[in-house]
């Protein structure tokens, strides 16, 4: 009875061996997060095959991503960005918020102005000339102003994939998508928003759904990266940035690069965090990855799952226990993944898995944690937990488990457990100083480089080491046309 009640769905697939013409039926069986049920199904496979001719292949929990995506697509299908009738040419760029107000950049035009991102809640003071806010991603320091409301009649443009995630997380309602809230996708290419202005969204590796923007008039262009991790051990986004700059095709081009971690020790290094963490896991058998950021937990899991899948030593030997707060994020990204929508897929996930159909989101070895039940550990298997600091005690993490910290959490968040010294910076989603130097050097050959998203004094010191072609964004306006400087 327990076996049957834990089965969510079954899909039968007829399979014919191409050379031997041997036909059999695979029964994909999605189950709840119960390892005893999954192991029982696996052990019973020969008996079930003998009795029915069906080979049962146990899966993890089905998250229903395709059905939810179909609903969202049908409702959001008509929310494409319209021509906003923004007049004028590009004139200048400046920060629209104070240094502690998150990220919001004002692009001044000869007849109006546009905003890239809206800063933290209640930190953006809209200007009467502002016509639209182009949001880069879902983090509160970039879209907090939009979420807090009070933007008046200003149009808001959201990346389509970000809108899907916000809807799944219930941070956005379908009724919010209306006459002044629009969607844009990298697949849309250049969009006309005024008589002389075109804008284009392009994917960037940071959080799921993140985009940057390129905007151009007949003579000048601006590229805004939004937050970005330019390089890790598994990807290098610099060639794509150079391609975007070339696509602008304007004599005067300025690129705004996220420099949050300039001159700081943090930032995504080229370390192989997953391999280092699995080496520690071999010694202890139980380990927890802790972060305040759900996107960091997502990428940590994807990285570790990928390395385990590729490793003979770890394949089918590690269980992954995930906080339920990650489920909405998984559902949206998984829908694009299984739909083979590589153009809409998160760049970090695409760099790791490409077009291969991995079962990372519905794996037999992935378990969604339940506050009412403790998943028993099997003696011969390792376990990796993915939690926020407040969930360490809530989910009864064993006292002997080691802790790996990601991002802004500190040893004080470990609640006295042992913290291991593994470089988890590749999961922090911002570029380190070395990547920024390489990017600034390469991109300065094609455009004027402007750094943003850090304290001006720190940025100026960092920019000084890069040469006169690199500038720093402040509240003071920088002319877009280089010959106007």
**How many other C-beta atoms can be found within 10 angstroms of the C-beta atom of residue 432?**
23
**What is the number of structural domains in the chain?**
3
The domain boundary, picked from 383, 410, 427, lies at 427
117 shares a domain with 13: no
Looking at the fold, whether 292 and 230 belong to one and the same domain comes out as no
Q: Show the CA angle centred on residue 15, arms to residues 14 and 19, nearest 5°.
A: 155
Give the angle subtended at the CA of 432 by the CAs of 431 and 436, to the nearest 5°.
75
* Ramachandran quadrant class, 477 (left: phi over 0; alpha: psi -120 to 50; beta: rest): beta
Q: Please give the full DSSP string across 166-235, using - where no structure is assigned.
A: HHHTTSS-GGGSSTTEEEE-GGG-SEE-SSS-EEEEEE-SSSTT-EEEEEE-SSEEEEE--S---EETTE
Gap between the Cα atoms of 305 and 301, Å rounded: 6
User: Three-class SS of residue 271?
Assistant: coil
CA 406 to chain centre: 15
Please tell me whether residues 344 and 422 are part of one structural domain: yes
| CATH (domain of 160) | 3.60.15.10
Considering only CA atoms, give the Rg of the chain.
24
And the tokens for 386?
């993915």
Token reading at 470: 């690199």
Nearest-angstrom CA–CA distance, 58 and 11: 11
Residues 277 and 378 in one domain: yes
Q: Are residues 88 and 209 in the same domain?
A: yes
DSSP string, 343-390: TTS-HHHHHHHTT----SSS-TTEEE-BTTB-PPPPTT-EEEEEE-TT
Domain enclosing residue 392, as ranges: 273-427
H-run or E-run covering 40: helix 35-43
- In terms of domains, do 142 and 90 share one? yes
Task: From residue 256, give the alpha-carbon distance in Å to each of 95, 204, 273.
Answer: 11, 13, 29
Last residue of a domain, one of 427, 442, 465: 427
- The bridge status of strand 90-95 relative to strand 478-479 is antiparallel
Q: Does residue 259 sit in the same domain as residue 330?
A: no
Distance CA 190, CA 198 (A): 6
C-alpha to C-alpha distance for 440 and 454, rounded to whole angstroms:
16
Domain boundary among 36, 62, 88: 62
Q: Are residues 222 and 85 in the same domain?
A: yes
Q: Are residues 394 and 337 in the same domain?
A: yes
- For residues 102 and 230, state if they share a domain: yes
**Does residue 244 share a domain with residue 181?**
yes
Q: Which helix (H) or strand (E) holds 36?
A: helix 35-43
pLDDT digits (tens), the chain, 485 positions: 566 788 888 888 887 766 666 677 888 899 988 888 888 888 888 898 888 888 888 899 988 766 677 777 777 776 678 778 888 999 999 999 999 999 999 999 988 999 999 999 999 998 999 999 999 999 999 999 999 987 888 999 999 889 988 988 889 888 888 778 899 999 899 999 998 999 999 999 999 999 999 999 999 999 999 999 999 988 899 999 999 999 999 989 999 999 999 988 888 998 999 999 999 998 888 999 999 999 999 999 999 999 998 887 888 889 999 999 999 888 888 888 887 776 667 788 877 776 676 789 999 999 999 765 566 677 678 999 999 998 987 888 888 889 999 998 888 788 888 899 999 999 999 999 999 999 999 999 999 999 999 888 899 999 998 888 899 999 999 999 766 54
User: What is the β-pairing status of strands 402-405 and 382-387?
Assistant: unpaired
Do 423 and 283 share a structural domain? yes
CA pair distance 186, 170, nearest whole angstrom: 24
Helix ranges restricted to H, 105-159:
140-148
């Amino acid at each position: 009875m327990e076996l049957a009640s834990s089965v969510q769905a079954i899909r039968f697939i007829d399979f014919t061996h191409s050379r031997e013409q041997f036909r059999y039926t695979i029964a994909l069986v999605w189950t709840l997060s119960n390892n005893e049920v999954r192991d029982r199904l696996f052990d019973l496979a020969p008996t079930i095959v003998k009795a029915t001719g069906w080979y049962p292949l146990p899966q993890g929990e089905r998250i229903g991503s395709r059905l939810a995506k179909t609903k969202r697509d049908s409702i959001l299908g008509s929310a494409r960005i319209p021509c906003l009738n923004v007049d004028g040419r590009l004139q200048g760029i400046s920060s629209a918020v104070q240094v502690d107000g998150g990220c919001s950049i004002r692009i001044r035009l000869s007849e109006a102005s546009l905003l890239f991102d809206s800063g933290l809640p209640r930190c953006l003071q809209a200007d009467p000339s502002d016509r639209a806010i182009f949001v880069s991603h879902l983090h509160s320091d970039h879209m907090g102003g939009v979420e807090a409301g009070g933007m008046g009649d200003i149009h808001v443009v959201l990346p389509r994939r970000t809108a899907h995630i916000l809807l799944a997380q219930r941070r956005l309602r379908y009724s919010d998508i209306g006459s002044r809230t629009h969607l844009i996708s990298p697949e849309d290419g250049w969009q006309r928003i005024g008589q002389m202005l075109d804008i284009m969204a392009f994917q960037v590796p940071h959080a799921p759904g993140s985009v940057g923007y390129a905007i151009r008039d007949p003579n000048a262009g601006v590229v805004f990266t939004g937050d970005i991790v330019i390089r890790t051990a598994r990807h290098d986004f610099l060639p794509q940035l150079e391609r975007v700059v070339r696509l602008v095709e304007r004599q005067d081009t300025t690129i705004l690069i996220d420099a949050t971690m300039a001159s700081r020790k943090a930032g995504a290094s080229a370390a192989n965090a997953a391999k280092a963490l699995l080496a520690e896991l071999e010694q202890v058998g139980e380990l927890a990855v802790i972060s305040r950021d759900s996107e960091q937990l997502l990428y940590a899991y994807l990285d570790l799952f990928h390395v385990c899948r590729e490793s003979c030593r770890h394949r089918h030997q590690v269980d992954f226990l995930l906080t339920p707060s990650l489920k909405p994020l998984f559902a949206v990204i998984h829908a694009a993944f299984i739909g083979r929508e590589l153009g809409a897929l998160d760049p970090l996930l695409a760099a790791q898995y490409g077009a291969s159909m991995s079962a990372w989101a519905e794996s037999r070895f992935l378990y969604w944690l339940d506050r009412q039940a403790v998943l028993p550990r099997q003696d011969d298997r390792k376990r990796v937990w993915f939690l926020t600091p407040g969930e360490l005690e809530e989910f009864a993490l064993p006292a002997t488990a080691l802790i790996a910290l990601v991002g802004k959490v500190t040893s004080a968040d470990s609640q006295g457990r042992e913290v291991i010294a593994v470089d988890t910076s590749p999961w922090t989603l911002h570029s380190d100083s070395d990547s920024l130097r390489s990017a600034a050097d390469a991109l300065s050959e094609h455009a004027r480089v402007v750094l943003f998203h850090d304290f001006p004094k720190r940025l100026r010191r960092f920019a000084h080491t890069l040469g006169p072609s690199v500038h720093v964004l402040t509240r003071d306006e920088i002319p877009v046309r280089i010959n106007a400087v």
